[in-house]
Amino acid sequence: MAGHSRSEGRSAAALVMKLRALIALALLAVTFSLLSPEFLTASNLSILVKHVAINAILAIGMTFVILSGGIDLSVGSIAGLCGVVAGGLLSRGLELQAFGVVIYFHTWLVVAIALAVGMAVGALNGWLVARLGVAPFIATLGSLYVARGAALLTTGGATFPNLAGSAALGNRGFAMLGAAGVLGLPVPVWVMALLAVAAIFLAAYTPFGRQVYAVGGNERAALLAGVRVGRVKLFVYVISGFCSALVGLIIAAQLGAAHPATGQTFELNAIAAVVLGGTSLMGGRGTIAGTLVGAFVIGVLADGLVLLGVSEFWQMVVKGLVIVLAVVLDQFQRRSS
Amino acid sequence: MGAGTRRLTRCFVLLCCAALSPACSSGTGSETAADPGRARLIAVITPSHDNPFFKAEADAASARARELGYEVIVNVHDDDANKQDQLIDVAIARKVSAIVLDNAGADASVAAISKARAAGIPSILIDREINVTGVAAAQIVSNNYQGATLGAEEFVRLLGEKGSYIELVGRESDTNAAVRSRGFHDVLDKYPDLRMVARQSANWDQREAFQKTETLIQANRGISGVIAGNDTMALGAMAALKGAGLGHLVVVGFDGSPDAIGSIKAGEIKATVLQPAAYIARLAVDQAHALITKGSTGQPEKQAIDCELVTQANAGEFGIFQRISKEAR
């Protein structure tokens, strides 16, 4: 009898541990709605989710990389570069000096080009890691600098303002990416939702997803089991590059301006969301859903503290404490299991 | 492996020679000034050029120095005092005649500037002061306090002396953020019907200002305006207000950046305060030249240059961080 109830207690504790990020999120939401009457209004929540989307989209891509046993430090720089590429193509066009012409692309083509640039940088990361065997930390640290430098070179350090486009050139409508969309929800929220569904499906229900876990869990075993490790690694960085490009486009669309320094330290926020969501930095263990919860914890904390008028310095302290606490809990869970 | 290592070593030695050669060749001459036949060198060191303000400074200083017959080396310290220290080491090693510096911290820069002084190289500081005197040859800054009161007075006028507002402050570890905020409040706090409902730092950053304004107007939809410690934050706040259908509210910035002036011309943000950064940078080079040729800048060490208010009425009179002269227009 006693043994039975003890095991029940243990499983309840295990459940709390497992859902700790979700519980933390609920606690934060309750606290902020008690402290600020505006927190739980529909318009504030809509804006909150829109703010979360930026980090969540990066963190979804980052989750695949970390699950495979890697890390991607270049996400913020790729976002900055892709924003600037789109901004430049919209406001200045592509100037071909040899032919003396300036080509303006349709808005959707500009978006596609920017996404392709993000995926290309991701592919470069993947190639360095998978083919040349460069440590992911070093490979992506390199592209962090190269992509940022490229973004700054593209604009000469300046900002591309006024990305509204013009009807004559047929490139209007870029701002839509950051504005309200179907059902009144902002487009970035829809992008995040669609991406999350696709990522959950990809990670949990496809051979590719299982291979990512296998490579991160035990690369040698995966290789012996016939997994094409190199190709899996290449793909996770391409996914991350794609997500980074999406973020760069969304930020440029929201601000109506593309600044080459956009996205500095974004990689750290994305990694924090992944870790908060219970994904192991060693790879092979974690979920996309967990990452989403992690991104929401960070976002709710940031917006809630602004709403309460807490100083920027305290916001940083609190964010740091929450991240460390989450990892401490993670250690407890692993030791007990 | 042995051959590879040897080749690497040879490359390294060659590189070292290349790096040292300017220092070696000028080391035999009688220090800096007394060699009129050869072009002398001025180092221009500023924060990162990803901010057009610092790029304008560096461009104006190097253009003026070349006009006066100097060679110029331009470097950025990215607001990193350690990197600035290394750049000043390089400048000393290359025996520059003077350093024009927008420094990386009021206290953190003192040692590096003293080191240059000990090596006989004068530093002319622009844009930001340091917390000691007698180390730099000159400190020429725009009068941030006077500029902030100008911006605040216009803000008050546009609001009709009443209503509630949000203040976005710059990076709180930066002296200018505090000075501008003090200038704002010394004016705004005199009006009893003006009420500040929120004050947040957005770290000089456009995206951060955008997100924070979006969140803050949730709790304060009745505000009449936003006053920001620089233009990028003002533009971020404007984008957020437009998104919320509040684009008609009064937004006032600071700096006079080309983007902000464009926004004023388009009727979006209402005013900004222009810091004459390009003028100050040229002034710094002129004083460095006077110091090198005549032994004195002819000016006191601390010099404050007044800022100018930019509104829709006069926006056409300003270029990149300077008033366009009549002839040029």
What is the tens place of the pLDDT at every residue in B104-143? 888 889 999 999 999 999 999 999 988 899 999 999 999 9
What is the tens place of the pLDDT at every residue in B170-215? 988 778 899 999 999 999 999 999 999 999 999 999 999 999 999 9
Predicted local confidence at residue A18, as pLDDT = 72
CA distance B100 to chain A (A): 20
Give the residue, B326 or B278, on which the prediction is more confident. Answer: B278
The architecture of the domain spanning B30-142+277-305 is 3-Layer(aba) Sandwich (3.40)
Contact state of A259 with B50 under an 8 Å Cβ cutoff: yes
* CATH 3.30.10.20 for the B144-274 domain, yes or no: no
CA B115 and chain centroid, separation: 23
Please check the confidence at residue B322 and state whether its pLDDT lies above 70. Answer: yes
Please check the confidence at residue A11 and state whether its pLDDT lies above 80. Answer: no
Helix and strand numbers (H, E) in chain A are 13, 2
CA distance B65 to chain A (A): 21
Number of other residues whose CB lies within 10 A of the CB of residue B53: 24
Mean pLDDT of the region A105-131:
95
What is the tens place of the pLDDT at every residue in B59-99? 999 999 999 999 999 999 988 888 999 899 999 988 999 99
Predicted local confidence at residue B39, as pLDDT = 65
Which of A325-330's residues contact partners 24+ apart within 8 Å by CB, and which partners?
A326/A20, A326/A21, A326/A24, A326/A275, A326/A276, A326/A294, A327/A275, A329/A17, A329/A20, A330/A275, A330/A278, A330/A280
Please check the confidence at residue A61 and state whether its pLDDT lies above 60. Answer: yes
Predicted local confidence at residue A92, as pLDDT = 86
In the block, tokens 């007698």 appear at B134
The architecture of the domain spanning A25-336 is Orthogonal Bundle (1.10)
- Under the banding of pLDDT at 50, 70 and 90, the label for residue A37 is confident
Predicted local confidence at residue A15, as pLDDT = 75
Smallest Cβ–Cβ distance between A161 and the set B51, B172, B259 belongs to: B259
Distance CA A106, CA A104 (A): 7
Distance CA B58, CA B52 (A): 10
B chain contacts of residue A161, beta-carbon cutoff 8 Å: 259, 262-263
Contact state of B207 with A255 under an 8 Å Cβ cutoff: yes
Please check the confidence at residue B329 and state whether its pLDDT lies above 90. Answer: no
Q: What is the pTM of this model?
A: 0.80
Question: Strand ranges (DSSP E) for chain A?
Answer: 94-96, 101-103
Distance CA A179, CA B272 (A): 27
In CATH terms, are B30-142+277-305 and B144-274 the same topology? Answer: yes
A chain contacts of residue B263, beta-carbon cutoff 8 Å: 161
Give the residue, A330 or A102, on which the prediction is more confident. Answer: A102
Q: What is the mean pLDDT of chain A?
A: 89
Predicted local confidence at residue A177, as pLDDT = 86
CA B46 and chain centroid, separation: 8
Predicted local confidence at residue B31, as pLDDT = 40
Smallest Cβ–Cβ distance between B55 and the set A36, A157, A255 belongs to: A157
Predicted local confidence at residue B208, as pLDDT = 94
User: What percentage of residues in chain A have a pLDDT greater than 70?
Assistant: 96
Distance CA A134, CA A52 (A): 32
Predicted local confidence at residue B6, as pLDDT = 53
Predicted local confidence at residue A248, as pLDDT = 96
Please check the confidence at residue B325 and state whether its pLDDT lies above 80. Answer: no
In chain B, domain spans:
30-142+277-305, 144-274
CA distance A154 to chain B (A): 11
Helix ranges restricted to H, chain B = 2-27, 52-67, 81-93, 110-118, 144-159, 175-188, 206-219, 231-243, 258-265, 277-294
Mean pLDDT of the region A153-164:
84
- Under the banding of pLDDT at 50, 70 and 90, the label for residue B24 is very low
Mean pLDDT of the region A2-29:
73
Predicted local confidence at residue B32, as pLDDT = 43
Smallest Cβ–Cβ distance between A159 and the set B200, B201, B259 belongs to: B259
Q: What is the mean pLDDT of chain B?
A: 87
- Under the banding of pLDDT at 50, 70 and 90, the label for residue B27 is very low
Distance CA A67, CA A222 (A): 13
What letter does residue B274 receive in the DSSP assignment? E
Please check the confidence at residue A55 and state whether its pLDDT lies above 90. Answer: yes
- Decide: B64 and B287 in contact? Cβ < 8 Å: no
Interface of A with B (CB under 8 A): 36, 38, 41, 43-44, 47-48, 50-51, 152, 156-159, 161-162, 178-179, 251, 254-257, 259-262, 303, 306-307, 309, 311-313
Closest residue of chain A to B259, computed from CA coordinates:
A161
What is the tens place of the pLDDT at every residue in B294-315? 999 989 999 999 999 999 999 9
B271-274 β-sheet, strand order: B194-201, B163-169, B225-228, B250-252, B271-274, B308-311
Distance CA A47, CA A42 (A): 9
What is the tens place of the pLDDT at every residue in B236-289? 999 999 999 999 999 999 999 999 999 999 999 999 999 999 999 999 999 999
Contact state of A313 with B172 under an 8 Å Cβ cutoff: yes
Mean pLDDT of the region A2-25:
70
Please check the confidence at residue B37 and state whether its pLDDT lies above 50. Answer: no
